[in-house]
Amino acid sequence: MPYRVHCMVCAGTGCVSNRSLDVREALEREIRKRGLQEEIQVVTTGCNGFCAVGPLMVVQPDGIFYQQLTPKDIPYLVEEHFIKGRPAQKLMYTPPEAPSPIPRMSDIPFFKHQRLIALRNRGLIDPEKIEDYIARDGYQALVKALTRMTPEQIIEEITRSGLRGRGGAGFPTGVKWRKVREASGEPKYIICNGDEGDPGAFMDRSIFESDPHSVIEGMLIGARAIGARHGVVYIRNEYPLALERIQIAIQQAREYGLLGENILDSGLDFDISVTRGAGAFVCGEETALIASVEGRLGDPRARPPYPSEYGLWGKPTCINNVETWANVPPIIMHGADWYSQIGTERSKGTKVFSLVGKVRNTGLVEVPMGITLRELIYDIGGGIPGDKKFKAVQTGGPSGGCIPAGMMDQPIEYVAPDGKREARDYLDLPIDYESLTDVGSMMGSGGLVVMDEDTCMVDVARYFLAFTQDESCGACTPCREGTKLMLDILNRIVEGHGTMDDLRALEEIGWVVKQTSLCGLGKTAPNPVLTTIKYFRDEYVAHIEAHKCPARVCRELNTYRIDPVICVERGHGCGVCRRECPEKAIFGEKNQPHRIDPALCKKCGVCVDVCHFNAVIVE
Amino acid sequence: MPKLKIEDLARIRDQARRSTLLREGAGRVKIIVHLGTCGIAAGGRNIMAAVLRELEERNLEDVLVSTSGCAGLCSREPMMTVEVLGQAPVKYVDLTEGKVREIFAEHIVGGRIAERYALAVGSERAM
């Protein structure tokens, strides 16, 4: 019998961490118990994107969206929805301002504003079943590329589509393919760069997890276009689920003859091997990645020669990011004209962003290029939780920069597509490769970290620099020594020992590192520091001159005191802080106001965390 | 597994799509079986089973099946609503498995409303 209902249970890493597999098991058990196993199918999908409210499930064909499920909810859900036919309202999603739950996924603002191309199959297929991918026209673009297009036509189509590298730099994909095709030297190689290392970014992981065959099909089309026989998927070992799914997908494609020799009787020979990365951030840089695939230390080298001429094993190599490959089949299927009408003048198509930080709807979103930060953060992201003020957004990961919230008195000049110039708020900046670079940040691979008024920008800069400093491979002096010096200065500033000379030095070293480093890691590592100095200089000055952290994040600079009135009237001198203080710096009796001895206080902040009455004041 | 040819790929797609089309929420016909307490008590579950059996036997790919609660006319249960894309929904009442078979033949496949079992064409006005 055919199934009447499909339960699409999300099994992306986010939902799995929140025990979605237990939910799935409970669901399967309950469905059997109720004798519905012939009518209702449970499907495990990749990341749905709305990670903030996981574990989640979409019930098709009606598209009912259930969220924050636990195994305990399942008997009720099955009884109400599948037996009585009443979708269970209390398990649905209610946006903060909405009066009632929104039953259908397509009506939820988080999903409504998205346009899926790279993630076209997410939540609709079981990523471990090649048949599910084929059912959604999978491998049909390959058929078209093999039977109705010459390699030149494929490259022309990709070039005209305007697709640019989604790994961050935004190099035109078609141009790269042509270079590799025309380069002398055989064999030629194709690499899929899945070494996604930015803190808080999970675009590539999600594509591997929800639709691995789209990457394989993209690589096959690339192989036909440039004339490669062998491909490598480079994926970090910290992504066990993504690794498992791409391996399963490759195996299935081989069994079906979609990888191997004489694919679909076309004469194309192509196979893919998987190389696991050990988690070094620098291996996302293409020359370091190639060194790592070859079994050497993941050190970058100077370019040129670029990998398109001298890549893997010294041969011409086409290296593209996961998301770029996933975009290839739809472009071949629907044509360059279709693709290039989406996006802005210079950046075509869509981009996947991981939306994280101080935003209500954290998750993975795919939106057309040219969308504004305001739409991303407020319409899709649902704004800032807890009525806090939006302060800045960090794009491009540790290599990117911070863009401040609406500085209405300092609008930027925006040149509209028709050439008209107007002043715009930063938040209304249409996002594309160029506009982000213009404000000192970058697209990067697509990480978006939202920050609110409780975020200290100096601390943020220090966090990202600590990351890049740690990941610096040490091959070139500016990056190795420069990031270390910068981090030392930042540590001094957040501890209250910085000077104004330090701030000047920080900027100067930053520019030197940016201009003289060997590879992209060093060239971009100072960005978070330089942009925060540019837009939030007053915060640096407050740390240095007033020894104050305006966001009260840098604990060394805070002073702690207990409000005697709150302590007695609300807390009756409960003494929790006194008992928990590791330095025994708090004194007081029951029903009496407690007091912190500043001479003994080590500013650890435990008293703030344990006080139930908010009596501890941080200044 | 023998190696695929291009025709095989299309065959697999058509076969697999039969089961996955449902996820896209697109179909020519939508059948809603009313499964409120009254519907279940009157035998709605058997009607649901009959609907699914018909779908299988007739190998219909473009028909979605959904459920809903009580439609407010408990005395005429079991009920189902048949909604052909672009046409007003039709409510069928006092159903039996035999009637379901006839409705499939005449309305869902044949395109003619089985008027003798239909309560009404169209729905109540909401709001």
Pair A448, A461 in one domain: no
Confidence of residue B126 (pLDDT cuts 50, 70, 90): low
Regarding whether A278 and A134 lie in a shared domain, the answer is: yes
Cis omega (within 30 of 0) for bond into A300 = no
Strand A5-10 versus strand A40-45 pairing type? parallel
Q: Which of A403, A431, A452 is the last residue of a domain?
A: A452
Contact assessment for residue A393 and residue A436, using Cβ atoms and an 8 Å cutoff = no
Across-strand partners of A192? A233, A320
Q: Where are the beta strands (DSSP E) in A70-161?
A: none
Q: Which domain holds residue B46?
A: 25-121
Check which CATH number belongs to the domain holding A609 and give it: 3.30.70.20
Identify whether B12 is part of a domain. no
Q: Under a CB-based contact definition with an 8 Å cutoff, are residues A445 and A167 in contact?
A: yes
Residues A122 and A206 sit within 8 Å (Cβ to Cβ) = yes
User: What amino acid is encoded at A304 in this protein?
Assistant: P
pLDDT grade for A161, boundaries at 50, 70 and 90 = very high
pLDDT attached to residue A409: 42
Under 8 Å between Cβ of A166 and A324: yes
Q: Is residue A531 part of a domain?
A: yes
State the CATH number of the domain containing residue B48.
3.40.30.10
Contacting residues for A263 by C-beta, under 8 A, at least 6 apart = A142, A146, A220, A257, A269, A270
Same domain, A252 and A366: no
Residues of A in contact with B51 (CB under 8 A): 4
Within a domain: B78? yes
In a domain, A241, yes or no: yes
Q: Give kind and range of the element (H or E) at residue A34.
A: none
Residue B89 has a pLDDT of 86
Going by pLDDT thresholds of 50, 70 and 90, the confidence category of residue A171 is very high
CB contact under 8 A, B40 and A84: yes
**Phi, psi at A320, each rounded to 5°:** -130, 160
In a domain, A124, yes or no: no
Better-predicted residue by pLDDT, A173 or A2? A173
Residue contact A4–B69, C-beta within 8 A: no
- In 3D space, the residue among A356, A389, A380 whose CA is nearest the CA of residue A95 turns out to be A380
Q: Are strands A188-194 and A268-277 parallel, antiparallel or unpaired?
A: unpaired
Nearest chain A Cα to B31, which residue? A4
In a 13 Å sphere around the CA of A538, the CA atoms on its Cβ side amount to 3
The minimal CB distance from B19 to the residues A3, A62, A86 is found for A3
pLDDT at A106: 87
The residue with tokens 């408990």 is B74
Is there a single domain that holds both residue A330 and residue A230?
Answer: yes
Residue A603 lies in a domain: yes
Span A400-405, mean pLDDT? 85
Task: Tell me how far apart the terminal alpha carbons of chain B are, to the nearest angstrom.
Answer: 57
Q: What is the domain count for chain B? A: 1
Best interface-test mutation with A: which of B1, B67, B85, B100 has the largest number of A CBs within 10 A? B67
Query: What is the domain extent for residue A476?
Result: 457-546
Domain shared by A156 and A138, yes or no: yes
Q: What is the pLDDT of residue B83?
A: 87
Specify the CATH number for the domain of residue A404.
3.10.20.600
Round the CA-based radius of gyration of chain B to a whole number and report it. 17
Taking the CB of residue A79, how many other CB atoms lie within 10 A of it?
A: 14
Last residue of a domain, one of A110, A144, A178: A110
Domain count, chain A: 5
Contact B20 A255 (CB under 8 A): no
Residue A420, pLDDT above cutoff 70: no
Are residues A168 and A273 located together in one domain of the fold?
A: yes
The CATH number that applies at residue A88 is 3.40.30.10
The answer to whether A344 touches A370, Cβ cutoff 8 Å, is yes
The pLDDT score that the predictor gives to residue A279 is 84
pLDDT digits (tens, 9 = 90+) for A74-118: 999 999 998 888 899 999 999 888 889 999 898 898 998 899 999
Which string of DSSP letters, residue by residue, matches A384-429?
A: -GGGPPEEEEEESGGGSEEEES--TTSPEEEE-TTS-EEEE-GGGP
Judgement on whether residues A425 and A331 belong to the same structural domain of the protein:
no
Stretch B27-52: mean pLDDT? 88
- Residues of chain A with pLDDT > 90, as a percent, come to 74
pLDDT in tens, A333-345: 999 999 999 999 9
The length of chain A is 619
**In the predicted structure, residue B123 carries a pLDDT above the cut 70:** no
Tell me the nearest-neighbour CA distance from B114 into chain A, angstroms: 23
Q: Does A182 touch chain B (CB under 8 A)?
A: no
Closest CA relative to residue B67, chosen from A421, A79, A208, A201 = A79
Q: What is the pLDDT of residue A441?
A: 81
Share above pLDDT 70 across residues of chain A, in percent, rounded to a whole number: 97
Cβ of A36 under 8 Å from any chain B Cβ? no
Domain match, A585 and A529 both = no
Interface contact flag, A84 B18, Cβ < 8 Å: no
Nearest to B23 among A6, A138, A139 (CB): A6
Phi, psi (deg, nearest 5) at residue A189: -120, 155
Would the pLDDT of A451 be above 80? Answer: yes
Q: Is residue A154 part of a domain?
A: yes
What distance in Å separates the CA atoms of residue A577 and residue B58, rounded to the nearest whole number?
73
SS3 state of residue A59: strand
Averaged pLDDT of chain A: 91
- ipTM of the complex, rounded to two decimals: 0.77
Residues comprising chain B, all counted:
127
The pLDDT of A355-370, averaged and rounded, is 92
Taking contacts as CB-CB distances below 8 angstroms, the residues of chain B near A147 are 6
In a domain, A125, yes or no: no
Among A419-433, A477-491, A533-547, the least confident range: A419-433
| Most distant CA pair in chain A, distance | 87
For residue A555, how many other CB atoms are within 10 A of its CB?
17
Is the domain of A246 the same as that of A374?
A: no
Q: Is the pLDDT of residue B107 over 80?
A: yes
Question: Would the pLDDT of A322 be above 90?
Answer: yes
Interface test with B, best of A59, A84, A258 (most B CBs within 10 A): A84
Question: Is B126 among the domain residues?
Answer: no
Residue A346 has pLDDT above 50, yes or no: yes
B16 lies in a domain?
A: no
In a domain, A116, yes or no: no
Among the listed residues A287, A267, A288, A266, the one whose alpha carbon sits nearest the alpha carbon of residue A279: A288
Identify whether B127 is part of a domain: no
| Averaged pLDDT, A480-487 | 97
In a domain, B105, yes or no: yes
Which segment, A38-42, A325-329, B94-98, is predicted with the most confidence on average? A325-329
For B3, name the nearest residue in chain A, comparing CA atoms only: A257
Query: Do both A57 and A136 map to the same domain?
Result: no
- Number of neighbours of residue A570 by Cβ within 10 angstroms: 14
Tell me which residue of A72, A16, A81 sits closest to A48, measured CA to CA.
A16
Q: What is the rounded distance in angstroms from the CA atom of residue A5 to the CA atom of residue B23?
A: 8
Is the pLDDT at A426 greater than 80? The verdict is no
- Kindly report the CATH number assigned to the domain that includes residue A511: 1.20.1440.230
Residue A485 forms part of a structural domain:
yes
Q: Is A138 touching B (CB cutoff 8 A)?
A: yes
Q: How far is it, in rounded angstroms, from Cα A355 to Cα A51? A: 10
Average pLDDT for A372-379: 89
Of A77-91, A203-217, A440-454, the range with the highest mean pLDDT is A203-217
From chain B, pick out residues whose CB is under 8 angstroms from the CB of A61. 22-25, 27, 30, 64, 66
What are the chain B neighbours of A134 within 8 Å (beta carbons)?
9, 12-13, 16
Of A565-579, B15-29, B36-50, give the range with the top mean pLDDT: A565-579
Q: Does residue A157 sit in the same domain as residue A180?
A: yes
Are A446 and A461 found together in one domain?
Answer: no
CA–CA separation, A263 and A146 (whole Å): 9
- Local confidence band at A565 (pLDDT 50, 70, 90 cut-offs): very high
- A-B Cβ pairs (cutoff 8 Å, strict): 113
Q: What percent of chain B has pLDDT over 70?
A: 93
Q: Does the pLDDT of residue A226 top 90, yes or no?
A: yes
Give the DSSP per-residue string, A484-532.
HHHHHHHHHHHTT---HHHHHHHHHHHHHHHHH-SSHHHHHTTHHHHHH
For A466, the enclosing helix (H) or strand (E) is helix A457-471
Q: Do B33 and A135 touch (CB under 8 A)?
A: no
Instruction: Count Cα atoms within 13 angstroms, Cβ side, for B90.
Output: 20
Of A495, A516, A546, the one marking the end of a domain is A546
Collapsing DSSP to helix, strand or coil, A350 comes out as strand
Instruction: Calculate Rg over the CA atoms of chain A.
Output: 27
